[in-house]
Structure 1
Amino acid sequence: METPLGKFIRAKRDSTQPELLGLQRYDRRRAPGLRRLDLAARAGISVEYLARIEQGRDRNPSRAVIDSLADALCLNASERNHLRYLAKIASDECAVHIRPVPPPWHVRPSVLQTLRLLEPGVAIVTNRLGDILAHTTGYQAVTSGTGLLDQARPNLNRYLFTDPRARTFFTDWDDIADEQAFDLWQAPSLENLEWLTSELIPAAGPEFTNRLCRHVVPRPGVLRLSHPGGHELRLTREMLELPMDDQQLVVFLPACDRSAQAIDQLQRQSHGRLRSIS
Protein backbone atom coordinates (compact mmCIF):
# COMPACT_ATOMS: atom_id res chain seq x y z
CA MET A 1 0.00 0.00 0.00
CA GLU A 2 1.39 3.40 -0.99
CA THR A 3 2.31 5.88 1.72
CA PRO A 4 2.39 9.71 1.62
CA LEU A 5 6.19 9.40 1.66
CA GLY A 6 6.22 7.19 -1.43
CA LYS A 7 3.70 9.34 -3.25
CA PHE A 8 5.70 12.50 -2.59
CA ILE A 9 8.96 10.97 -3.84
CA ARG A 10 7.20 9.66 -6.93
CA ALA A 11 5.54 13.03 -7.58
CA LYS A 12 8.84 14.89 -7.31
CA ARG A 13 10.57 12.32 -9.51
CA ASP A 14 7.88 12.68 -12.18
CA SER A 15 8.12 16.48 -12.10
CA THR A 16 11.94 16.64 -12.31
CA GLN A 17 13.27 17.19 -15.82
CA PRO A 18 16.36 15.00 -16.47
CA GLU A 19 18.18 17.65 -18.50
CA LEU A 20 18.10 20.04 -15.53
CA LEU A 21 20.26 17.53 -13.68
CA GLY A 22 22.60 17.00 -16.61
CA LEU A 23 20.96 13.71 -17.59
CA GLN A 24 19.76 12.51 -20.98
CA ARG A 25 16.06 12.81 -21.76
CA TYR A 26 14.35 9.61 -22.87
CA ASP A 27 11.61 10.76 -25.23
CA ARG A 28 10.07 7.31 -25.64
CA ARG A 29 9.28 6.93 -21.94
CA ARG A 30 5.59 6.80 -21.08
CA ALA A 31 6.13 8.30 -17.63
CA PRO A 32 7.33 11.91 -17.35
CA GLY A 33 10.33 13.13 -15.43
CA LEU A 34 13.24 11.27 -13.89
CA ARG A 35 13.66 7.52 -14.23
CA ARG A 36 13.73 5.45 -11.05
CA LEU A 37 17.11 4.12 -12.17
CA ASP A 38 18.56 7.64 -12.41
CA LEU A 39 17.18 8.77 -9.04
CA ALA A 40 18.48 5.66 -7.31
CA ALA A 41 21.94 6.18 -8.81
CA ARG A 42 22.02 9.84 -7.74
CA ALA A 43 20.90 8.91 -4.21
CA GLY A 44 23.34 6.02 -3.91
CA ILE A 45 20.70 3.36 -3.26
CA SER A 46 19.46 0.39 -5.26
CA VAL A 47 16.56 0.62 -7.69
CA GLU A 48 14.84 -2.17 -5.76
CA TYR A 49 15.09 -0.26 -2.49
CA LEU A 50 13.76 2.93 -4.07
CA ALA A 51 10.84 0.95 -5.51
CA ARG A 52 10.04 -0.44 -2.05
CA ILE A 53 9.98 3.07 -0.58
CA GLU A 54 7.79 4.48 -3.37
CA GLN A 55 5.38 1.54 -3.16
CA GLY A 56 5.11 1.65 0.63
CA ARG A 57 6.79 -1.71 1.19
CA ASP A 58 9.60 -0.07 3.19
CA ARG A 59 8.28 2.50 5.66
CA ASN A 60 11.37 3.09 7.75
CA PRO A 61 14.19 4.50 5.58
CA SER A 62 17.09 5.98 7.51
CA ARG A 63 17.72 9.72 7.86
CA ALA A 64 20.76 9.30 5.60
CA VAL A 65 18.63 7.76 2.85
CA ILE A 66 16.02 10.53 3.15
CA ASP A 67 18.71 13.21 2.95
CA SER A 68 20.30 11.49 -0.05
CA LEU A 69 16.95 11.43 -1.85
CA ALA A 70 16.44 15.12 -1.03
CA ASP A 71 19.85 15.92 -2.51
CA ALA A 72 19.20 13.78 -5.57
CA LEU A 73 15.89 15.54 -6.23
CA CYS A 74 17.38 19.00 -5.52
CA LEU A 75 14.61 19.78 -3.01
CA ASN A 76 14.41 23.24 -1.47
CA ALA A 77 14.34 23.76 2.30
CA SER A 78 10.53 23.52 2.61
CA GLU A 79 10.40 20.38 0.49
CA ARG A 80 13.21 18.78 2.52
CA ASN A 81 11.38 19.43 5.77
CA HIS A 82 8.22 17.95 4.29
CA LEU A 83 10.09 14.85 3.09
CA ARG A 84 11.52 14.31 6.58
CA TYR A 85 8.08 14.77 8.13
CA LEU A 86 6.53 12.21 5.79
CA ALA A 87 9.32 9.77 6.63
CA LYS A 88 8.55 10.22 10.32
CA ILE A 89 4.83 9.60 10.03
CA ALA A 90 5.46 6.59 7.75
CA SER A 91 7.55 5.09 10.55
CA ASP A 92 5.00 6.05 13.22
CA GLU A 93 2.19 4.41 11.28
CA CYS A 94 4.10 1.13 11.42
CA ALA A 95 4.61 1.38 15.16
CA VAL A 96 1.17 2.37 16.41
CA HIS A 97 -2.49 1.97 15.54
CA ILE A 98 -4.04 5.37 14.87
CA ARG A 99 -7.21 6.09 16.84
CA PRO A 100 -8.87 9.26 15.57
CA VAL A 101 -9.43 11.89 18.26
CA PRO A 102 -10.67 15.48 17.87
CA PRO A 103 -8.17 18.30 18.39
CA PRO A 104 -8.35 20.58 21.44
CA TRP A 105 -10.29 23.84 21.12
CA HIS A 106 -9.10 25.68 24.24
CA VAL A 107 -7.35 29.04 23.74
CA ARG A 108 -5.28 30.27 26.67
CA PRO A 109 -6.49 33.50 28.34
CA SER A 110 -3.16 35.22 27.65
CA VAL A 111 -3.52 34.42 23.95
CA LEU A 112 -7.03 35.87 23.94
CA GLN A 113 -5.69 38.97 25.69
CA THR A 114 -3.06 39.30 22.95
CA LEU A 115 -5.82 39.06 20.36
CA ARG A 116 -7.74 41.84 22.12
CA LEU A 117 -4.71 44.09 21.89
CA LEU A 118 -4.87 43.71 18.11
CA GLU A 119 -8.41 45.12 17.90
CA PRO A 120 -9.78 46.48 15.63
CA GLY A 121 -7.27 44.72 13.39
CA VAL A 122 -7.85 41.56 11.39
CA ALA A 123 -6.52 38.51 13.26
CA ILE A 124 -7.39 34.93 14.22
CA VAL A 125 -6.15 32.09 16.37
CA THR A 126 -6.17 28.83 14.45
CA ASN A 127 -4.54 25.42 14.38
CA ARG A 128 -2.94 23.35 11.61
CA LEU A 129 -6.25 21.63 10.97
CA GLY A 130 -7.89 24.89 9.93
CA ASP A 131 -10.10 25.32 13.00
CA ILE A 132 -10.75 29.02 13.67
CA LEU A 133 -10.56 29.09 17.47
CA ALA A 134 -10.89 32.83 18.07
CA HIS A 135 -11.04 36.00 15.97
CA THR A 136 -11.19 39.78 16.20
CA THR A 137 -14.04 42.00 15.13
CA GLY A 138 -11.89 43.01 12.17
CA TYR A 139 -11.76 39.44 10.91
CA GLN A 140 -15.50 39.13 11.37
CA ALA A 141 -15.99 42.27 9.29
CA VAL A 142 -13.70 41.11 6.49
CA THR A 143 -15.47 37.73 6.27
CA SER A 144 -19.01 39.06 6.72
CA GLY A 145 -21.49 37.65 4.23
CA THR A 146 -19.11 34.89 3.06
CA GLY A 147 -20.41 32.07 5.27
CA LEU A 148 -16.97 31.32 6.71
CA LEU A 149 -17.99 32.00 10.32
CA ASP A 150 -21.57 30.72 10.06
CA GLN A 151 -20.84 27.35 11.72
CA ALA A 152 -20.69 26.95 15.49
CA ARG A 153 -17.16 25.62 15.02
CA PRO A 154 -15.83 27.18 11.83
CA ASN A 155 -13.11 25.34 9.97
CA LEU A 156 -11.30 26.95 7.05
CA ASN A 157 -10.70 23.65 5.24
CA ARG A 158 -14.31 22.56 5.50
CA TYR A 159 -15.43 25.95 4.18
CA LEU A 160 -12.83 26.04 1.44
CA PHE A 161 -13.66 22.62 -0.01
CA THR A 162 -17.40 22.30 0.64
CA ASP A 163 -18.90 25.81 0.42
CA PRO A 164 -19.28 27.17 -3.14
CA ARG A 165 -18.96 30.73 -1.85
CA ALA A 166 -15.30 30.06 -1.01
CA ARG A 167 -14.34 29.95 -4.69
CA THR A 168 -15.59 33.50 -5.11
CA PHE A 169 -14.33 34.86 -1.80
CA PHE A 170 -10.76 33.61 -2.31
CA THR A 171 -9.65 35.15 -5.60
CA ASP A 172 -6.76 32.69 -5.91
CA TRP A 173 -8.79 29.71 -4.70
CA ASP A 174 -6.51 27.08 -6.27
CA ASP A 175 -3.42 28.45 -4.54
CA ILE A 176 -5.16 28.71 -1.17
CA ALA A 177 -6.53 25.18 -1.55
CA ASP A 178 -3.00 23.88 -2.15
CA GLU A 179 -1.72 25.84 0.87
CA GLN A 180 -4.37 24.46 3.18
CA ALA A 181 -4.05 20.87 1.96
CA PHE A 182 -0.29 21.01 2.43
CA ASP A 183 -0.60 22.55 5.88
CA LEU A 184 -2.58 19.52 7.03
CA TRP A 185 0.59 17.46 6.75
CA GLN A 186 2.08 19.71 9.44
CA ALA A 187 -0.76 18.85 11.83
CA PRO A 188 0.43 18.42 15.42
CA SER A 189 -0.29 14.70 15.61
CA LEU A 190 -1.23 11.75 13.46
CA GLU A 191 -4.39 11.31 15.52
CA ASN A 192 -5.60 14.84 14.77
CA LEU A 193 -4.78 14.57 11.07
CA GLU A 194 -6.67 11.28 10.83
CA TRP A 195 -9.63 12.78 12.68
CA LEU A 196 -10.00 15.66 10.25
CA THR A 197 -9.42 13.68 7.07
CA SER A 198 -11.92 11.02 8.16
CA GLU A 199 -14.49 13.80 8.59
CA LEU A 200 -13.56 16.00 5.65
CA ILE A 201 -12.94 13.41 2.92
CA PRO A 202 -16.59 12.23 2.70
CA ALA A 203 -17.80 15.85 2.46
CA ALA A 204 -15.11 17.32 0.20
CA GLY A 205 -14.50 14.29 -2.02
CA PRO A 206 -11.77 14.01 -4.68
CA GLU A 207 -11.12 17.77 -4.86
CA PHE A 208 -9.68 17.59 -1.36
CA THR A 209 -8.03 14.17 -1.44
CA ASN A 210 -6.29 14.83 -4.76
CA ARG A 211 -4.71 18.01 -3.40
CA LEU A 212 -3.80 16.31 -0.15
CA CYS A 213 -1.92 13.60 -2.05
CA ARG A 214 -0.16 15.99 -4.45
CA HIS A 215 2.03 17.46 -1.68
CA VAL A 216 2.41 20.82 -3.43
CA VAL A 217 4.77 22.86 -1.26
CA PRO A 218 3.20 26.35 -1.20
CA ARG A 219 4.91 29.69 -1.66
CA PRO A 220 2.48 31.99 0.15
CA GLY A 221 2.07 35.44 -1.34
CA VAL A 222 -0.46 38.24 -0.97
CA LEU A 223 -3.91 36.98 0.00
CA ARG A 224 -6.54 38.34 -2.39
CA LEU A 225 -10.18 38.40 -1.27
CA SER A 226 -13.31 39.34 -3.16
CA HIS A 227 -15.78 40.48 -0.51
CA PRO A 228 -19.52 40.12 -1.30
CA GLY A 229 -19.93 43.84 -0.62
CA GLY A 230 -17.87 44.63 -3.71
CA HIS A 231 -14.53 45.22 -2.01
CA GLU A 232 -11.33 43.74 -3.44
CA LEU A 233 -8.85 43.17 -0.63
CA ARG A 234 -5.11 42.44 -0.76
CA LEU A 235 -3.67 41.27 2.56
CA THR A 236 -0.29 40.14 3.80
CA ARG A 237 -0.16 37.46 6.49
CA GLU A 238 2.08 37.33 9.55
CA MET A 239 1.94 34.01 11.40
CA LEU A 240 3.13 33.74 14.99
CA GLU A 241 3.59 30.16 16.22
CA LEU A 242 2.21 29.18 19.64
CA PRO A 243 4.18 25.97 20.19
CA MET A 244 2.74 25.32 23.68
CA ASP A 245 -0.71 24.95 22.13
CA ASP A 246 0.01 23.72 18.58
CA GLN A 247 -1.79 26.88 17.44
CA GLN A 248 -1.02 29.96 15.39
CA LEU A 249 -1.87 33.63 15.75
CA VAL A 250 -2.39 34.97 12.24
CA VAL A 251 -2.49 38.72 11.61
CA PHE A 252 -3.77 40.06 8.29
CA LEU A 253 -2.40 43.42 7.22
CA PRO A 254 -3.61 45.54 4.28
CA ALA A 255 -1.12 45.37 1.42
CA CYS A 256 -2.25 48.68 -0.09
CA ASP A 257 -4.11 51.88 0.80
CA ARG A 258 -7.20 50.76 -1.08
CA SER A 259 -7.43 47.58 1.03
CA ALA A 260 -6.92 49.58 4.24
CA GLN A 261 -9.79 51.89 3.30
CA ALA A 262 -12.03 48.93 2.43
CA ILE A 263 -11.32 47.28 5.80
CA ASP A 264 -12.18 50.53 7.60
CA GLN A 265 -15.47 50.71 5.72
CA LEU A 266 -16.33 47.08 6.50
CA GLN A 267 -15.54 47.61 10.18
CA ARG A 268 -17.87 50.60 10.35
CA GLN A 269 -20.65 48.48 8.86
CA SER A 270 -20.07 45.58 11.26
CA HIS A 271 -20.67 45.73 15.00
CA GLY A 272 -19.08 42.52 16.19
CA ARG A 273 -16.88 41.62 19.15
CA LEU A 274 -13.91 39.37 19.88
CA ARG A 275 -15.08 35.78 19.69
CA SER A 276 -13.52 32.70 21.27
CA ILE A 277 -14.88 29.32 20.21
CA SER A 278 -14.59 26.52 22.76
Structure 2
Amino acid sequence: MGKPLGDFIRAKRDSIQPESLGLPDRGRRRSPGLRRLDLAARAGISVEYLTRIEQGRDRNPSTAVIKALADALGLVPSERNHLSYLAKITRGECAAHLRPTPPSRQVRPSVLETLRLLEPGIAIVANRLGDVLARTSGYESVTGGTGLLDAASPNLTRYVFTDPRARTFFTDWDDVADELAFDLWLAPSIENVEWLTAELTPIAGPDFTRRLNRHLVPRRGTLRLNHPTGQELQFLRETLEFPADAQQLVVFLPADEQTAKALDQLHQPHGRLRSIS
Protein backbone atom coordinates (compact mmCIF):
# COMPACT_ATOMS: atom_id res chain seq x y z
CA MET A 1 0.00 0.00 0.00
CA GLY A 2 2.36 2.69 -1.20
CA LYS A 3 4.92 3.86 1.34
CA PRO A 4 3.15 3.77 4.73
CA LEU A 5 6.35 4.04 6.78
CA GLY A 6 7.50 7.12 4.89
CA ASP A 7 4.02 8.65 4.99
CA PHE A 8 3.88 8.30 8.77
CA ILE A 9 7.34 9.77 9.33
CA ARG A 10 6.57 12.67 7.02
CA ALA A 11 3.20 13.32 8.71
CA LYS A 12 4.80 13.40 12.17
CA ARG A 13 7.66 15.57 10.92
CA ASP A 14 5.21 18.06 9.43
CA SER A 15 3.28 18.23 12.71
CA ILE A 16 6.28 19.20 14.86
CA GLN A 17 7.27 22.81 15.39
CA PRO A 18 11.08 23.11 15.63
CA GLU A 19 10.76 25.46 18.59
CA SER A 20 9.12 22.67 20.63
CA LEU A 21 12.37 20.70 20.33
CA GLY A 22 14.57 23.66 21.17
CA LEU A 23 15.67 24.13 17.55
CA PRO A 24 16.19 27.62 16.12
CA ASP A 25 13.72 29.16 13.69
CA ARG A 26 15.39 28.95 10.27
CA GLY A 27 13.00 31.36 8.57
CA ARG A 28 10.60 30.60 5.73
CA ARG A 29 10.12 26.94 4.81
CA ARG A 30 8.47 25.31 1.82
CA SER A 31 6.54 22.92 4.10
CA PRO A 32 5.41 23.09 7.72
CA GLY A 33 7.06 21.35 10.62
CA LEU A 34 10.49 19.87 11.11
CA ARG A 35 13.03 19.95 8.29
CA ARG A 36 14.50 16.68 7.03
CA LEU A 37 17.92 18.11 7.91
CA ASP A 38 16.93 18.58 11.56
CA LEU A 39 15.23 15.19 11.90
CA ALA A 40 18.16 13.40 10.29
CA ALA A 41 20.61 15.14 12.63
CA ARG A 42 18.54 14.24 15.71
CA ALA A 43 18.29 10.60 14.57
CA GLY A 44 21.96 10.34 13.65
CA ILE A 45 21.39 9.41 10.02
CA SER A 46 22.06 11.19 6.75
CA VAL A 47 19.50 13.38 5.02
CA GLU A 48 19.86 11.19 1.93
CA TYR A 49 18.98 8.06 3.92
CA LEU A 50 15.97 9.73 5.56
CA THR A 51 14.79 10.87 2.12
CA ARG A 52 14.99 7.30 0.79
CA ILE A 53 12.93 6.01 3.75
CA GLU A 54 10.26 8.70 3.35
CA GLN A 55 10.02 8.11 -0.39
CA GLY A 56 9.79 4.32 0.03
CA ARG A 57 13.09 3.67 -1.76
CA ASP A 58 14.69 2.01 1.28
CA ARG A 59 12.51 -0.89 2.41
CA ASN A 60 14.77 -2.42 5.05
CA PRO A 61 15.54 0.13 7.78
CA SER A 62 17.13 -1.48 10.80
CA THR A 63 15.50 -1.69 14.22
CA ALA A 64 18.12 0.74 15.52
CA VAL A 65 17.22 3.31 12.84
CA ILE A 66 13.50 2.97 13.61
CA LYS A 67 14.19 3.48 17.32
CA ALA A 68 16.37 6.51 16.58
CA LEU A 69 13.62 8.04 14.44
CA ALA A 70 11.04 7.38 17.16
CA ASP A 71 13.28 9.13 19.70
CA ALA A 72 13.97 12.02 17.36
CA LEU A 73 10.27 12.53 16.67
CA GLY A 74 9.38 12.27 20.37
CA LEU A 75 6.75 9.59 19.72
CA VAL A 76 4.47 8.38 22.50
CA PRO A 77 4.27 4.58 23.11
CA SER A 78 1.25 4.02 20.85
CA GLU A 79 2.97 5.92 18.02
CA ARG A 80 6.20 3.97 18.57
CA ASN A 81 4.29 0.71 18.26
CA HIS A 82 2.71 1.90 15.03
CA LEU A 83 6.07 3.00 13.62
CA SER A 84 7.55 -0.44 14.37
CA TYR A 85 4.55 -2.14 12.78
CA LEU A 86 4.86 -0.04 9.62
CA ALA A 87 8.56 -0.94 9.44
CA LYS A 88 7.60 -4.62 9.48
CA ILE A 89 5.08 -4.01 6.70
CA THR A 90 7.78 -2.24 4.70
CA ARG A 91 10.14 -5.20 5.14
CA GLY A 92 7.38 -7.58 4.04
CA GLU A 93 7.18 -9.32 7.41
CA CYS A 94 3.40 -8.94 7.81
CA ALA A 95 2.16 -10.38 4.52
CA ALA A 96 0.15 -13.50 5.35
CA HIS A 97 -1.31 -14.26 1.92
CA LEU A 98 -0.13 -14.32 -1.65
CA ARG A 99 -3.21 -12.50 -2.91
CA PRO A 100 -5.98 -10.39 -1.36
CA THR A 101 -8.73 -12.52 0.19
CA PRO A 102 -11.73 -11.62 2.34
CA PRO A 103 -11.04 -12.34 6.03
CA SER A 104 -12.80 -15.15 7.86
CA ARG A 105 -16.13 -14.18 9.45
CA GLN A 106 -16.27 -17.28 11.67
CA VAL A 107 -16.60 -16.61 15.42
CA ARG A 108 -15.65 -19.39 17.84
CA PRO A 109 -18.50 -20.90 19.90
CA SER A 110 -16.79 -19.96 23.17
CA VAL A 111 -16.62 -16.32 22.05
CA LEU A 112 -20.29 -16.39 21.08
CA GLU A 113 -21.11 -17.82 24.51
CA THR A 114 -19.16 -14.99 26.15
CA LEU A 115 -21.19 -12.53 24.11
CA ARG A 116 -24.43 -14.25 25.19
CA LEU A 117 -23.47 -13.87 28.86
CA LEU A 118 -23.18 -10.13 28.36
CA GLU A 119 -26.87 -9.82 27.43
CA PRO A 120 -28.68 -7.46 27.66
CA GLY A 121 -25.52 -5.39 27.61
CA ILE A 122 -24.12 -3.67 24.54
CA ALA A 123 -21.28 -5.58 22.90
CA ILE A 124 -20.01 -6.78 19.54
CA VAL A 125 -17.41 -9.11 18.10
CA ALA A 126 -15.60 -7.36 15.25
CA ASN A 127 -12.34 -7.38 13.35
CA ARG A 128 -9.94 -4.58 12.43
CA LEU A 129 -11.58 -4.20 9.02
CA GLY A 130 -14.78 -3.10 10.77
CA ASP A 131 -16.84 -6.26 10.14
CA VAL A 132 -19.51 -6.69 12.84
CA LEU A 133 -19.36 -10.47 13.19
CA ALA A 134 -21.72 -10.91 16.15
CA ARG A 135 -23.64 -8.60 18.48
CA THR A 136 -25.91 -8.56 21.49
CA SER A 137 -29.55 -7.55 21.35
CA GLY A 138 -28.53 -4.48 23.35
CA TYR A 139 -26.26 -3.35 20.52
CA GLU A 140 -29.09 -3.89 18.05
CA SER A 141 -31.40 -1.76 20.20
CA VAL A 142 -28.95 1.13 20.43
CA THR A 143 -28.12 1.12 16.71
CA GLY A 144 -31.63 0.39 15.43
CA GLY A 145 -32.89 2.89 12.89
CA THR A 146 -29.41 4.18 12.01
CA GLY A 147 -28.75 1.95 9.01
CA LEU A 148 -25.65 0.45 10.58
CA LEU A 149 -26.99 -3.10 10.64
CA ASP A 150 -29.04 -2.93 7.44
CA ALA A 151 -26.49 -4.82 5.33
CA ALA A 152 -26.39 -8.62 5.32
CA SER A 153 -22.76 -8.39 6.49
CA PRO A 154 -22.52 -5.12 8.46
CA ASN A 155 -19.22 -3.27 8.31
CA LEU A 156 -18.55 -0.22 10.49
CA THR A 157 -15.85 1.18 8.24
CA ARG A 158 -18.01 1.04 5.13
CA TYR A 159 -20.96 2.51 7.04
CA VAL A 160 -19.01 5.44 8.48
CA PHE A 161 -17.42 6.45 5.18
CA THR A 162 -20.29 5.82 2.78
CA ASP A 163 -23.62 6.21 4.61
CA PRO A 164 -24.67 9.86 5.25
CA ARG A 165 -26.61 8.74 8.33
CA ALA A 166 -23.31 7.92 10.07
CA ARG A 167 -22.42 11.61 10.33
CA THR A 168 -25.57 12.16 12.37
CA PHE A 169 -25.37 8.98 14.44
CA PHE A 170 -21.76 9.51 15.57
CA THR A 171 -21.53 12.85 17.36
CA ASP A 172 -17.75 12.94 16.88
CA TRP A 173 -17.78 11.52 13.37
CA ASP A 174 -14.26 12.77 12.56
CA ASP A 175 -12.75 10.95 15.54
CA VAL A 176 -14.59 7.71 14.69
CA ALA A 177 -13.48 7.97 11.05
CA ASP A 178 -9.86 8.41 12.17
CA GLU A 179 -10.13 5.35 14.45
CA LEU A 180 -11.50 3.10 11.73
CA ALA A 181 -9.01 4.27 9.12
CA PHE A 182 -6.14 3.67 11.54
CA ASP A 183 -7.43 0.20 12.49
CA LEU A 184 -7.15 -0.91 8.87
CA TRP A 185 -3.38 -0.86 9.31
CA LEU A 186 -3.77 -3.32 12.21
CA ALA A 187 -5.75 -5.83 10.14
CA PRO A 188 -4.44 -9.43 9.98
CA SER A 189 -2.51 -8.83 6.78
CA ILE A 190 -1.82 -5.97 4.43
CA GLU A 191 -3.59 -7.91 1.68
CA ASN A 192 -6.85 -7.91 3.63
CA VAL A 193 -6.57 -4.15 4.05
CA GLU A 194 -6.17 -3.83 0.30
CA TRP A 195 -9.21 -6.03 -0.25
CA LEU A 196 -11.41 -3.65 1.75
CA THR A 197 -9.86 -0.39 0.60
CA ALA A 198 -10.22 -1.42 -3.04
CA GLU A 199 -13.97 -1.44 -2.41
CA LEU A 200 -14.04 1.71 -0.31
CA THR A 201 -11.74 4.10 -2.15
CA PRO A 202 -13.95 4.63 -5.23
CA ILE A 203 -17.09 5.33 -3.19
CA ALA A 204 -15.66 6.94 -0.04
CA GLY A 205 -13.54 9.41 -1.94
CA PRO A 206 -10.37 11.34 -1.05
CA ASP A 207 -11.36 11.92 2.60
CA PHE A 208 -11.01 8.19 3.28
CA THR A 209 -7.67 7.99 1.47
CA ARG A 210 -6.35 11.03 3.33
CA ARG A 211 -7.25 9.62 6.72
CA LEU A 212 -5.80 6.22 5.87
CA ASN A 213 -2.46 7.62 4.76
CA ARG A 214 -1.84 10.16 7.49
CA HIS A 215 -1.56 7.44 10.20
CA LEU A 216 -3.08 9.49 12.98
CA VAL A 217 -2.98 7.35 16.14
CA PRO A 218 -6.48 7.83 17.63
CA ARG A 219 -7.29 8.88 21.19
CA ARG A 220 -10.26 6.48 21.53
CA GLY A 221 -12.09 8.63 24.06
CA THR A 222 -15.74 8.56 25.05
CA LEU A 223 -17.99 7.42 22.20
CA ARG A 224 -20.97 9.75 21.76
CA LEU A 225 -24.00 8.61 19.79
CA ASN A 226 -27.04 10.59 18.66
CA HIS A 227 -29.81 8.07 19.21
CA PRO A 228 -32.73 8.32 16.74
CA THR A 229 -34.93 9.45 19.65
CA GLY A 230 -32.88 12.64 19.89
CA GLN A 231 -30.89 11.68 22.98
CA GLU A 232 -27.12 11.70 23.14
CA LEU A 233 -25.71 8.48 24.59
CA GLN A 234 -22.15 8.34 25.88
CA PHE A 235 -20.12 5.16 26.19
CA LEU A 236 -16.77 3.97 27.46
CA ARG A 237 -15.31 1.06 25.52
CA GLU A 238 -13.48 -1.97 26.88
CA THR A 239 -11.84 -4.26 24.35
CA LEU A 240 -10.77 -7.89 24.68
CA GLU A 241 -8.43 -9.04 21.91
CA PHE A 242 -8.45 -12.52 20.36
CA PRO A 243 -5.11 -12.45 18.48
CA ALA A 244 -5.41 -15.99 17.12
CA ASP A 245 -8.73 -15.10 15.49
CA ALA A 246 -7.77 -11.52 14.56
CA GLN A 247 -11.00 -10.44 16.29
CA GLN A 248 -12.06 -8.25 19.22
CA LEU A 249 -14.85 -8.28 21.75
CA VAL A 250 -15.87 -4.67 22.38
CA VAL A 251 -18.13 -3.86 25.36
CA PHE A 252 -19.87 -0.47 25.54
CA LEU A 253 -20.41 0.85 29.07
CA PRO A 254 -22.52 3.92 29.94
CA ALA A 255 -20.26 6.88 30.61
CA ASP A 256 -22.81 8.99 32.47
CA GLU A 257 -25.99 8.68 34.52
CA GLN A 258 -28.28 9.87 31.73
CA THR A 259 -27.04 7.12 29.42
CA ALA A 260 -27.43 4.52 32.17
CA LYS A 261 -31.05 5.59 32.77
CA ALA A 262 -31.77 5.54 29.05
CA LEU A 263 -30.39 2.00 28.76
CA ASP A 264 -32.51 0.87 31.72
CA GLN A 265 -35.57 2.03 29.80
CA LEU A 266 -34.37 0.30 26.68
CA HIS A 267 -33.92 -3.01 28.51
CA GLN A 268 -37.50 -3.04 29.76
CA PRO A 269 -39.88 -5.35 27.84
CA HIS A 270 -40.85 -3.47 24.68
CA GLY A 271 -38.78 -0.58 26.02
CA ARG A 272 -38.22 2.52 24.00
CA LEU A 273 -36.00 5.46 24.80
CA ARG A 274 -37.71 8.63 25.89
CA SER A 275 -36.20 12.03 26.43
CA ILE A 276 -34.79 12.37 29.93
CA SER A 277 -34.69 15.81 31.47
| Band of TM-score, shorter chain | over 0.9
* Matching residue of 2:231: 231
Inter-partner Cα distance in structure 2 for 1:48 and 1:227: 53
Amino acid at match of 1:193: V
Asked if the contact 2:123/2:251 (under 8 Å) is kept, the reply is yes
Amino acid at match of 2:121: G
Q: Answer yes or no: is 1:13 the counterpart of 2:52.
A: no
Inter-partner Cα distance in structure 1 for 2:93 and 2:207: 25
Instruction: Provide closer, same or farther for how the CA distance between residues 9 and 258 of structure 1 changes in structure 2, counting only shifts above 3 A.
Output: same
Inter-partner Cα distance in structure 2 for 1:2 and 1:191: 12
Asked if the contact 2:160/2:167 (under 8 Å) is kept, the reply is yes
Inter-partner Cα distance in structure 2 for 1:101 and 1:217: 26
Offset, 1:270: 5.8
* Matching residue of 1:222: 222
Inter-partner Cα distance in structure 2 for 1:84 and 1:122: 33
Asked if the contact 1:141/1:270 (under 8 Å) is kept, the reply is no
Amino acid at match of 1:264: D
* Matching residue of 1:111: 111
Asked if the contact 1:223/1:236 (under 8 Å) is kept, the reply is yes
Amino acid at match of 1:22: G
Offset, 1:106: 0.2
* Matching residue of 1:136: 136
Offset, 1:246: 0.7
Instruction: Provide closer, same or farther for how the CA distance between residues 106 and 42 of structure 1 changes in structure 2, counting only shifts above 3 A.
Output: same
What is the identity percentage for the equivalent residue pairs of Structure 1 and Structure 2?
72
Inter-partner Cα distance in structure 2 for 1:25 and 1:218: 30
Instruction: Provide closer, same or farther for how the CA distance between residues 98 and 6 of structure 1 changes in structure 2, counting only shifts above 3 A.
Output: farther
Asked if the contact 1:98/1:190 (under 8 Å) is kept, the reply is no
Amino acid at match of 2:183: D
RMSD: 1.8
Amino acid at match of 1:82: H
Partner secondary structure for residue 237 of structure 1: strand
Deviates more, 1:228-237 or 1:134-143: 228-237
Partner secondary structure for residue 30 of structure 2: coil
* Matching residue of 1:189: 189
Inter-partner Cα distance in structure 2 for 1:131 and 1:94: 21
Gaps of 5+ in 1: 272-278
1:131-178 deviations in whole A, cap 9, x for unaligned?
A: 000000000000010000000000000000000000000000001111
Q: Answer yes or no: is 1:34 the counterpart of 2:34.
A: yes
Inter-partner Cα distance in structure 1 for 2:3 and 2:10: 11
**Number of equivalenced pairs:** 271
Offset, 1:264: 2.6
Inter-partner Cα distance in structure 2 for 1:57 and 1:270: 61
Offset, 1:96: 9.2
Deviates more, 1:252-261 or 1:117-126: 252-261
Amino acid at match of 1:188: P
Amino acid at match of 1:247: Q
1:37-87 deviations in whole A, cap 9, x for unaligned?
A: 111011011100000000111111011100000000000001001111111
* Matching residue of 1:79: 79
Gaps of 5+ in 2: 272-277
5 Å-filtered alignment, 1:1-278, equals: 3-92=3-92, 99-268=99-268
Inter-partner Cα distance in structure 2 for 1:95 and 1:128: 16
Inter-partner Cα distance in structure 2 for 1:205 and 1:270: 40
Offset, 1:254: 0.5
Instruction: Provide closer, same or farther for how the CA distance between residues 23 and 2 of structure 1 changes in structure 2, counting only shifts above 3 A.
Output: farther
Amino acid at match of 2:211: R
Offset, 1:93: 8.0
Inter-partner Cα distance in structure 1 for 2:170 and 2:27: 39
Deviates more, 1:123-132 or 1:26-35: 26-35
Amino acid at match of 2:215: H
Offset, 1:95: 8.6
